[in-house]
Amino acid sequence: MRFFSLDDIAKNALDAFRRHPFVILSGIVCAVIINVLISSGNDQEEVLIRMLMSAVLGLPLFVAIDTFANRAAEKSSGSSRQHLWLRLAGLAFLVVVFFFWSRWQNEVVWRRFVQLALAFHLAAAFTGYLRSQEHNGFWQFNRNLLLRFMTAVFFGGVLFAGISVAFVALDQLFGANIDGEFYLRLFAVIGFVFITWYFASGIPDDFEALEEDTSYPLGVKIFSQFILQPIVILYLLILTAYLVKVLFTQKWPSGWIGYLVSSVSVVGMLSLLLLYPIQHFRENRWVKTYGRLFYIALLPSIFMLFLAIGKRVGQYGVTENRYFLLVLTVWLSGIAVYFIFSKSKAIRVIPISLCLLSLLTSFGPWGAYAVSKRSQVHRLQSILERNELFAAGQVVPAEEDVPLEDRREISATFRYILNTHGYHPVDDWFPGGATAIDTTLKTWKWGRGSGDSHAQKLMAHMNVPYINKWEHRQGQVHQNYFYGQGMHVVPVKGFDYLCPLIANGRFLEAQNLSITTEFHRGTDPTLVIRNADTDEMTVDLAEVLRIIERVQADGVANQKLEAPIEIEAESSW
C-alpha cells in the first residue's frame, strides 16, 4: 500500500486549484472578509457582510458551473473558453447580488440568500446530468459529493480542535496571552479555506466511471430501511388520523400541519433516494412498491395542507411564508403525481424542479416578494376603506373609533409592510409622502430594527391608535411585571425614603432598614414587605391589577392614567 507523501498532497492541492479555482478563491475570500470583519468592528460591517454573502453563494455556484463545464468538455471542443465565460458570468451574477443587497429589506435579503443558496446547491447536484440518462452515475456522483463534504468537515473539525488546544496550552503553560479573536480567525481559515480546498479536490469528474460504479454502502440501506422508513410510516399514520379528525369535527386543519407534511415529505423522499440504486434487484423490488404507496398516502395530507393555506390566505392575505408553503405544496403535488404514474421515475426531477422553483420565486412580479407586497397592500387598503379611512388614493383621518380587531390588523399590516418592503408601497397614501409624516423613515435602516415606532407615527396621522403585536386580544388577559435594576433608596421631603421595592428577595439597605420583598401571584396577588425578616407588611395588589385591566380593555398601548395608582399600607417600623 502506498501512503500519501507531502509531495502528493501538494500535487493534489494544485490539481484541485487548477480544476476549481473559483470555488477555492470564493472560500479564501470568505476567510479574508471574516478576518477583516473581526478587526474592523462596525466601520464597514454592511459592505463586508454583502461581500461575504456573495462569496458564500459563489461556493455552490462555481461547483455547479465547473461540473456542467467538465461534463460538456467530454462531448465538445473549445470547452476551456466556454468554461471561462461561464465562470465570468457566475462572477458577474455575484457582483449584481452584492450591489442589489443594499436595496432589499433585511427580511427579504436573507430569504433571497437562502433561496439562491438552495438553488445553487441543488444545481451542483444535477448540472453534470442535464442531458444524460445515467441514473446510477447521478446517484453515485451525489453520494461522492456528500461523503467528501462530511469527510472535509470532520477533518476540519479535528484540525481546528487540535490547533486550538495547542494554543490554549501555550496560553496556560507559558503565558502566551493569545487573544480570543485568534480562534475565530482560525475557525474562518479552516472552515472556508481548508474544508473548501479539501472538498474541491474530491469533486468527481470521471462521469463514465461513476455510471459503472455499482458499490452501495450497507449502512445507507440500514439507515434508510430501518430508521427513516419507520419514521415516515409513523408520520403518515399521525397525518391520516388527523385527517379523519378533521372530517369528523368539521374543523379547519391547523396551520401547524404545514411543518409536519413538509417533514414527512423530506424524510420520505430522502429514504427513497437513498434506496434508489438497489431497487432493481430482485430482493429489493419492494422499494418500488413502497415508493408508490408513500406518494399515494401523501396525497390526503397535501390536500389538508391546501385547505389550511387557503384558510390563512383568505383571512390574512399572502405573505412570503404562506407563498413559499403554497408553492411547496403545489410542488409536492406534482412530484407525487409524477412518481405515481411515471414509468421512468428519474430522481433528478426532484433537484431540477426544486432548483427552478427557488430561482423563479426569488424575483419578478410572480415572485414571493412582489406577490406578498401586492396582497398585503391591497388587504390594508380594503380594511381602511371599510372603516372610511381611505379615499381618492390617500388615507383619511378617523372621525370615529375604529373597532379593536380592525385596529389590530391595520397595525400588523403596516408593521409588516414597513419591515419587509419599506415605506415605498404606502408612500403616496400620505400628503407629501410618508417621510413628511415620519422624517426618520429616510434614514431608518429597514429591517435593522422594529418598525413599530414608524407604523405608530403613520397611524397617529390617521388618528388611529397603534396596537403592538404583544398586546392581548379581546377575551384574553395578560399580566406583565417589570422592575428596574440599579435603583437606590432616596430621601424624600415629607417622607423618610423613596424606596424601589423589587420583588422576590432583593435587599435594600437604608440606615436601620434591611428590606426584602416577596411577591405572591394568584387570584389575590400580594406583595409582602419585611424589615430584617421580623416586621412584616402585606400590600394587596388586586385593585392595582383591576385598574390596569380596565386601561387595557381598549387594547391601546402606553395609555396614560388619569391619576397615579396609589396604595397605602402601614407598619410599625
Taken in order 278, 279, 281, 284, the sign of the CA dihedral is positive
pLDDT in tens, the chain (573 residues): 555 567 778 888 999 999 999 999 999 999 999 999 988 766 678 889 999 999 999 999 999 999 999 998 876 655 678 889 999 999 999 999 999 888 887 778 889 999 999 999 999 999 999 888 899 999 999 999 999 999 999 999 999 999 999 999 998 888 778 888 899 999 999 999 999 999 999 999 899 999 999 899 989 989 998 999 999 999 899 888 888 888 888 777 766 788 888 889 999 999 999 999 988 888 888 888 899 999 999 999 898 889 889 888 988 999 999 999 999 999 999 999 999 999 888 999 999 999 999 999 999 999 999 999 999 999 999 999 999 999 989 999 998 889 999 999 999 999 999 988 888 899 999 988 888 888 877 776 544 456 788 888 899 989 999 988 777 555 455 555 554 555 566 667 777 667 666 555 554 555 556 667 777 776 677 877 777 666 677 888 777 777 777 666 555 445 556 667 777 777 766
What is the C-alpha to C-alpha distance for residues 116 and 199, in angstroms, rounded to an integer? Answer: 21
What is the C-alpha to C-alpha distance for residues 455 and 460, in angstroms, rounded to an integer? Answer: 8
pLDDT of residue 487: 52
What residue type is assigned to position 482 of the chain?
F
Grid coordinates representing 63 are: 461547483
What is the C-alpha to C-alpha distance for residues 126 and 132, in angstroms, rounded to an integer? Answer: 10
C-alpha distances (whole Å) from 312 to each of 202, 252, 306, 325 are 47, 10, 10, 11
Residues forming a β-bridge with 491? 497
Tell me if 471 sits within 8 A of 555, measured CB to CB. Answer: yes
Task: With H, G, I as helix, E, B as strand and everything else as coil, classify residue 518.
Answer: strand
The per-residue DSSP string of 5-39 comes to -HHHHHHHHHHHHHH-HHHHHHHHHHHHHHHHHHH
Tell me if 203 sits within 8 A of 20, measured CB to CB. Answer: yes
Does the global pTM surpass 0.85? no
pLDDT of residue 318: 94
What are the structural domain ranges in the chain?
11-212, 223-362, 371-462, 478-572
pLDDT of residue 425: 92
- How far, in whole angstroms, is CA 168 from its chain's centroid? 35
User: Is residue 520 within a helix (H) or strand (E), and if so which, with residue range?
Assistant: strand 513-520
Q: What is the dihedral of CA 296, 301, 306, 311, to 10 degrees?
A: 160
C-alpha distances (whole Å) from 233 to each of 225, 238, 377 are 11, 9, 42
Q: How many CB atoms lie within 10 A of CB 129?
A: 25
Grid coordinates representing 125 are: 447536484
Tell me if 95 sits within 8 A of 232, measured CB to CB. Answer: no
pLDDT of residue 447: 47
Sheet containing 526-531, strands listed edge to edge, beginning at the edge strand earlier in sequence:
508-510, 513-520, 526-531, 535-540
